[in-house]
Amino acid sequence: MDLVHVALISYTPDPERTIAAAARVSVSPVTITELWERLSPERADSLLSQLLAAGHLSPFEHASFTFAIEGISRVTSHQLVRHRLASYTQQSQRYVSLKKLDYVTPATISARPELENKYHRVVEAAHELYSQMLEAGLPAEDARYVLPGAVETRLVMSMNARELMHACSLRLCLKAQWEIVGLFEMLKAEVLKVAPRLGAELNPKCYRLGYCDESVSCGLFPTREPPSAPDKAK
């Protein structure tokens, strides 16, 4: 496989109304069933805006999204699973022997043919040794030590909307690594199809801050001026 494939395989039905209804429970005297039946999509939309403006984010945990992710490198899956408030099930390199090696080639390497050739040779040599070790009867859990981080993987990830907003705030920042930025752009595109109001909130952190908190801005927002020193003369 040479293309990343991302699909939203299941999600909380009516995710935006679910979040809004959950938020209303804390302040409404009516039953939850009544509240749910009365809640129009327009009211849900405005409630979501209020929750976001107030930073009242726990209701966003009631909507969850499950994605199938295929064709990312192990380099990127390693970064992805650092987001702890999510569930992951990844193809095992212990139980699945890689007869054919699919791997990611960064564009910077493809742009340099003399290095790209060496890159492919090294990755293929690693796979050859891996295959020899399997043929010699070594367990896949040990032979896999020779495989590079470029090797493609597949996994299922479930994440709630609050954690999705948080992870997107970090991983859609152009200071994050290109492969994981691309992955989160695809995750956002999937959410936008089923929950456009929520999907519109999946943005790099500078959108919410109104400035760039990195040392050098990508140009989307300027970096914040350093706070001026207190006037010691007073």
Ligand X SMILES: Cc1cc2nc3c(=O)[nH]c(=O)nc-3n(C[C@H](O)[C@H](O)[C@H](O)COP(=O)(O)OP(=O)(O)OC[C@H]3O[C@@H](n4cnc5c(N)ncnc54)[C@H](O)[C@@H]3O)c2cc1C
Q: Which residues are catalytic?
A: 171
- Of the pair 154, 166, the CB lying nearest ligand X is at 166
In the complex, the residues that contact ligand X under the rule CB under 6 A are 82-85, 163, 166-167, 170-171, 175-176
| Least distance between ligand X and beta carbon 53 (Å) | 20
Residues whose CB is less than 8 angstroms from the CB of residue 33 and which lie 6 or more positions away in sequence, other chains included: none
Separation between Cα atoms, residue 22 and residue 138, nearest integer Å: 53
Nearest in space to 155 (alpha carbons), one of 88, 100, 95, 97:
88
Q: How far is the CB of 64 from ligand X (least distance, A)?
A: 15
Residue 123 vs 204, nearer CB to ligand X: 204
- Of 59, 30, 37, give the one whose Cα is nearest residue 47: 59
Q: How far is the CB of 79 from ligand X (least distance, A)?
A: 7
Q: Which two tokens stand for residue 38?
A: 């009365």
Residue whose structure tokens are 């938020």 = 23
Angle at 12 (CA atoms; ends 10, 18), nearest 5 degrees? 165
Strand arrangement, sheet containing 64-73: 5-11, 64-73, 152-160, 86-90
- Beta-strand relationship, 86-90 and 152-160: antiparallel
- Minimum Å gap between C-beta 84 and ligand X is 4
